[in-house]
Chains A and B, each alone.
Chain A
Amino acid sequence: MLNRLRDHREAKGWSQGELARRLGVSRQTINAVETDKYDPSLPLALRMAKLFAVTVPDLFIDEWEPEE
């Protein structure tokens, strides 16, 4: 799933390691999410959104639309 995690992280001036430390995950996880290789769990997505003071849909881009 596409996401804007890297944009938000860089806007804060944080390294991947710094963000990983703040979220309590490995740097590899941050790298995997940023490069769309891994979709985080709901709890981690919520923590990310909380950390950047945005909503989950602001961070993760889902193009699905409900049928009319």
Chain B
Amino acid sequence: MVEGQSKPLWSGWRKVAGLSIIGGIGGYFLGKFAAESVNDGGPLANLVGVEVALLVSLLYIMMGLFVGLGSLSPRVGAALLNVEDADEVREEGPTLRLSAAGCILIGISLASIALGGAGGLLAPTMALLIGGVSLFLATLLSVSIIRKSEELMRAVMQETASASYYLLFAVLGIWSAIAYLGMAPAPRAIDVLTAFWAAPLLATFWTIGRRGMMAPRS
């Protein structure tokens, strides 16, 4: 599509609605699969904290695969991602691929740690090795992404970091206070770790949603 011409609005919203439905259905089945796998009488049965950690990991991995797939094929990317056209996917390709890889690595890191707890499917040393290496690589990619980012993305990242802090403060702060008063069970290490990764995810959606950047381009 030639820029400057306005897209029919229904076309953009149809894309958002379609992707939301696909994401919802995919997320439901993946989440159900993960929860059932863990709860299937296995050693991690009833460890809700692990389930939530695995769900957050899956979200990161699915997002990474989604963006990665879109960035590898500009035509597919134009249909999947909130971009103007395939050319924009080509222009943003390097950053999109780095972001996709970063998301997948974060998902792997959190999942491996979650599966390496007491009675987990991974030995603790193996979990730490996989989790640590993935996190280190994700950090290197993040530095590279920040260097490549221009001012809009930097503004979004700063806003996201700030929102993440307040979210963590609200959730972990209030939870800890209530737990200290003996009115609720204290957050476990896996809950805290999950919160550290779930907060930026939620904050990102909140930030870009608040700025109207999740809506189809006009």
Contact = CB atoms under 8 A, between A and B. Distances in A.
B211 A37 contact: yes
Among B83, B91, B151, chain A packs the most CB atoms within 10 A around the CB of: B151
Tell me the interface secondary structure of chain B in the complex.
loop
Contact of A38 (B2, B83, B87, B211): B211
A10 interface: yes
Interface of A: 9-10, 15-17, 24-29, 31-32, 35, 37-38, 40-41, 44
A25 B151 contact: yes
Contacts, number: 50
Contacts of A17: 3, 84, 87-88, 91
A42 to B, nearest CB: 11
Contacts of B213: 28, 32, 37
B211 A16 contact: no
A38 B3 contact: no
Contact of A15 (B4, B83, B91, B217): B4
A32 B155 CA distance: 12
B91 A27 contact: yes
A16 B91 CA distance: 13
Contacts of B153: 26
